[in-house]
Amino acid sequence: MINKLCTETFGLKNPDSLKTYMDKQGYQAWKNIIIEQTPKSKIIEKIKESGLRGKGGAGFLTGLKWSFIPLLDGQKYLVCNSDESEPGTCKDRDILRYNPHSIIEGMLIASYAIGASVAYNYLRGEFIDEQWKVFNHALSEAYNAKLIGKNILSSNITIDIHALIGAGAYIVGEETAMLESIEGKRGMPRIKPPFPAIKGLYGKPTIINNTETLASIPKIMLNKPGWYKSLGVNDTEGMKIFSMSGHVNNPGNFEIALGTPFSELLNLAGGMWNGKNIKAVIPGGSSVPVVKGDIMMQVNMDYDSISEAGSMLGSGGVIVMDESTCMVSVLQRISRFYYSESCGQCTPCREGTGWLYKILTHIILGKGTQNDLHQLERIATQIEGHCICALGDAAAMPVRSFLKNFWSEFEYYVDKKESMVS
Amino acid sequence: MNPEFIINEELGKLISNVVKKFPSDKKRSAVIESLLILQHHNNGYVTKNIIKALSDYLSVSEIDIYEVATFYTMINIDPVGRNVISVCNNISCMLRGSDEILSHIEDKLKIKVGESTKDNKFYLKDEIECLAACNGGPMMQVNHKNYENLTLEKVDEILESVNDK
């Protein structure tokens, strides 16, 4: 494919090395900025104009987010969110190990644009073997080449980048929980407002962007205005990596134009595993509503099209399920996750996620009743919108959508005390 | 009473490198990575004495460190087996057969999730949620190294090849 942003070095020899990245015009955008002393506002304007949206899940416009940073002098921070842990999502782990310099260059440009002299890349703890080592090595290469640090390329500009490691907590992917974690505390989300752009890390203005978002920045800066927008197809703009997992022949990460039909993406992943029929798809990580397979086959992979199908593009973690899948078991597994990962701060989430998991387990054990199904709906409704962060909603949305789309299968389970498919 | 834990020169050097990443008055930020360093040094778990030593070293209260140690699932506060096995069994891996992999390991090692083997060679870690290798499912980590696209045979080979530390 011609238009690779974050995946350009994937598959090359020594993909993570500075040399490989430089051969692909790496750090050229950064050098241009340093040489031209590009005004910060011009960079923010270009990112705004590109239409780049956050690729961690929320899809917020990146340039707009940057523009919230106060123009006043004083310490500011940039944080790269590499705490990838939304089930179904495994794109950032590949950028970290195969194209780490694109993240570093993106972090440098973002730091410069918002006026941050210090930036942190927070990697999830479980990346400590491979990604942590590769990223730290890339950092030291970039330091040695004077692309980061004090007096970058003799310019008087100072930006330090540090890698940080987590220790196992999904909730830290929530941006304010991440700030708490960097401050050395439990990862409990903060009440917003104030938003991090005003009061973030150590109380200073802070921008938090996803790994893939930042890795997309260098190419956008290097190209003419309008270039990134033009990459989308079917009336949409830009690119996205989709992690294809579950019942497909060749699970993997695919960086494609937004707006590409789902059916094409499925083909890229080798089609359905063992030639079975498609039953359902979770298109954006486990927290987004499930979509029936036949509907998904008509959907394009972009924000609007997936939204019209009743779900969300989210993190781009696409989980494909074939006809042999028991939806009750899948929902129970999803509910266990949110129960286990709730930080416990808000009562609706702490208690509600536990009840969702317990009731679903009860049903799986053949002890469920019709009333339990209504109870699940009631609990989901009471969690949704009643918590500090989105984890509660993330637990509720799958429950509501699984019940809505596969009610008869749940009913069958409580009536017959066994799965409809096994 | 267990003897006091001393942060020796080597550990002190590693921890001070962590401290350097943060503003000089924000040593608390170094707690998480320091705990991982100390845990690695102490057969995979931290003790009250380790927490006390880190508390003195960073000038952060013991309870603040203990709170962090119990919040993050990768920090163990109880002794565990020397080699840590983490089997992902979230949806993507589950769809590719991770439940079978997990029960195979439980049978093979004669332990349940959350337990260590009698000889203390293996710890089958609990609270394992998605490990962000969804397109390599079923997968597991052994001492944080990824093993993907597992089959029962592959699991046997991997576990048998683990050299005891």
Q: How far apart are alpha carbons B127 and A220 in whole angstroms? A: 40
pLDDT band at B2 (very low <50, low <70, confident <90, very high): low
Q: Which domain holds residue B94?
A: 83-161
Quote the radius of gyration of chain B (alpha carbons, Å): 18
Structure confidence at residue B126 as a pLDDT band (50, 70, 90) = confident
Same domain, residue pair B49 and B107: no
Residue of B nearest to A281 (CA): B92
Strand, helix or coil at A250?
coil
For A9, other C-beta atoms within 10 Å of its C-beta total: 23
Say if pTM beats, i.e. exceeds, 0.95: yes
pLDDT of A186: 97
Residues B87 and B48 in one domain: no
Q: What value does the mean pLDDT take over residues A389-409?
A: 97
The predicted structure's pLDDT at residue B146? 96
Note the ipTM here.
0.96
Average pLDDT score over residue span A155-164: 96
Residue B1 domain-assigned (yes or no): no
- Using left for φ > 0, alpha for ψ between -120 and 50, and beta otherwise, residue B105 falls in alpha
Tens-place pLDDT, residues A358-392: 999 999 999 999 999 999 999 999 999 999 999 99
Residue B164: what pLDDT? 74
Last residue of a domain, one of B71, B103, B121: B71
Report whether pLDDT(A276) > 50.
yes
Among B17, B51, B71, the domain-final residue is: B71
Q: B46 and B107 share a domain?
A: no
Whether B108 and B140 share a structural domain: yes
B45 inside domain: yes
- H-state helical runs in A11-50: 18-23, 28-36, 40-50
Q: Do A168 and B127 touch (CB under 8 A)?
A: yes
Q: Is B68 helix (H, G, I), strand (E, B) or coil?
A: helix
Note whether A164 contacts B: Cβ–Cβ < 8 A: yes
Report how far residue B70's alpha carbon sits from residue B22's, in angstroms, rounded to the nearest whole number.
23
B62 and B87 share a domain? no
For the cut 80, the answer to whether the pLDDT of residue A422 exceeds it is: no
CA pair distance B110, B113, nearest whole angstrom: 10
When the pLDDT of each residue in chain B is averaged and rounded to a whole number, the result is 95
Question: Domain containing B13 — which CATH number?
Answer: 1.10.10
Tallying the residues shown for chain B, one arrives at 165
φ, ψ of residue A233 to 5 degrees: the values are: -125, 170
pLDDT of A3 higher than 80: no
Give the whole-number percent of chain A exceeding pLDDT 70: 100
Please state the φ and ψ torsions of residue B85, each to the nearest 5 degrees: -110, 125
- Amino acid at site B144: H
pLDDT at B165: 58
* pLDDT band (50, 70, 90) for residue A141: very high
The reported pLDDT for the residue numbered A133 is 98
- The answer, yes or no, to whether residue A19 has pLDDT greater than 80, is yes
- Please say which residue of B23, B48, B71 terminates a domain: B71
Q: What domains, with CATH codes, occur in chain A?
A: 18-230 (3.40.50.11540), 239-322 (3.10.20.600), 327-416 (1.20.1440.230)
Q: Are residues B64 and B30 in the same domain?
A: yes
Q: Are B73 and B107 spatial neighbours (Cβ–Cβ below 8 Å)? A: no
- Would you state the pLDDT for residue A1? 44
Is residue B116 situated within a structural domain?
Answer: yes
Each residue's pLDDT tens digit, B58-117: 999 999 999 999 999 999 999 999 999 999 999 999 999 999 999 999 999 999 999 999
Closest among A350, A286, A342, A345 to A314, alpha carbons compared: A286
B2 within some domain: no
What average pLDDT does chain A have?
Answer: 96
Number of domains in chain B: 2
- Which of A395, A356, A393 is closest to A376 using CA atoms? A356
Same domain membership, residue B118 and residue B55 = no
- Residue B1: the pLDDT is 53
Q: Which residues, 6+ apart, have CB-to-CB distance to A152 below 8 Å?
A: A34, A146, A158, A159
Which residues in chain A have their CB less than 8 angstroms from residue B137's CB?
245, 251
Answer yes or no: is B78 within a domain.
Answer: no
Residue A340 · residue B129 · CB < 8 Å: yes
**Looking at residues A108-118, what average pLDDT do you find?**
98
Clarify whether residues B39 and B18 are in a common domain: yes
The CA distance from A147 to A156, in Å, is: 12
Tell me which residues of chain A, numbers 175 to 234, contact chain B at a CB-CB cutoff of 8 Å: 181-187, 202
The contacts of residue A246 (CB under 8 Å, 6+ apart) are: A88, A273, A319, A320, A321, B91, B92, B95, B96
In a domain, B144, yes or no: yes
Residues B54 and B98 grouped into a single domain: no
Tens-digit pLDDT profile for residues A205-250: 999 999 999 999 999 999 999 999 999 998 898 999 999 999 999 9
Q: A286: alpha, beta or left, given left = phi > 0 and alpha = psi -120 to 50?
A: alpha
Tokens of A257: 């134009």
Assigned domain for B155 exists = yes
Token pair for residue A403? Answer: 């019940």
Q: Are A207 and A62 in contact (CB under 8 A)?
A: no
Which spans in A309-346 are helix H?
A: 327-341
| Nearest residue to B128 (alpha-carbon basis) of B117, B107, B113 | B113
CATH number at residue B151: 3.40.30.10
Q: Are residues B53 and B26 in the same domain?
A: yes
- Mean pLDDT computed over A289-310: 97
Nearest to A87 among B86, B92, B135 (CB): B92
Same-domain status, B87 and B157: yes
Residues in A closer than 8 angstroms to B148, CB to CB, are none
The pLDDT-based confidence of B33 (bands split at 50, 70, 90) is very high
Q: What is the dihedral of CA A219, A221, A223, A227, to 10 degrees?
A: 90
- pLDDT (tens digit, 9 = 90+) per residue, A26-55? 999 999 999 999 999 999 999 999 999 999
Closest CA to A148 of A84, A100, A211: A100
Domain presence at residue B153: yes
DSSP codes, A89-134: --SHHHHHHH-HHHHHHHHHHHHHHHT-SEEEEEE-GGGTTTHHHH
Which residues of chain A have a CB within 8 Å of the CB of B74? 125-126, 166-168
Whether residue B90 is found in the same domain as residue B151: yes
Element (H, E) at B98: helix B98-109
Restricting to A residues 364-403, those with a Cβ less than 8 Å away from any Cβ of B are none
